[in-house]
Amino acid sequence: MQKLKIEPTKDTLGIHFDPFEKFLEFRGLSYPSNPKIFFEPLIDWVQDYLSYAGKENLTLYFRIKYFNTSSSTYLFKILELLVPVYEKNKNVKIIWYNNNDDDSLESWMSLMYDIDLPFEIVNENEK
């Protein structure tokens, strides 16, 4: 399995997925004009990774300044894929980097409300 690196644009996230270091990072802004085209390949990638290394640890880093409703739908789908892995092995770690923006933090909390995964919030200026 190879690394996945997608550079951010003005309206899409930067993605860095390293299966060897076992992390997936989301960075930037997310309001793509066609979220399906952007997110569906990423969802496939996560599914492939989980079938390849389902018992391995995986850390997700969210350094997102803004995401719209359609992006949150796809982020939710990605997180949903991790619930069975966490329930079985407890090998999923999620870190949200708060950039002192109450709106983005509130959006994050709304997204995580229906997901049974633990997560950590880290103030951006701490890391």
End-to-end CA distance of the chain: 29
Q: Which fold has domain 4-126?
A: Transcription Regulator spoIIAA (3.30.750)
Taking only the tens place, the pLDDT of each residue in 55-91 is 678 899 999 999 999 999 999 999 999 998 888 888 8
Pairwise CA distance, residues 30 & 35, whole Å: 9
Q: Domains of the chain: which residue ranges? A: 4-126
pLDDT at 55: 67
pTM, rounded to two decimals: 0.89
Report whether 3 contacts 19 (CB < 8 A).
yes
Which has more pLDDT, 35 or 126? 35
What mean pLDDT, rounded, does the chain reach?
Answer: 88
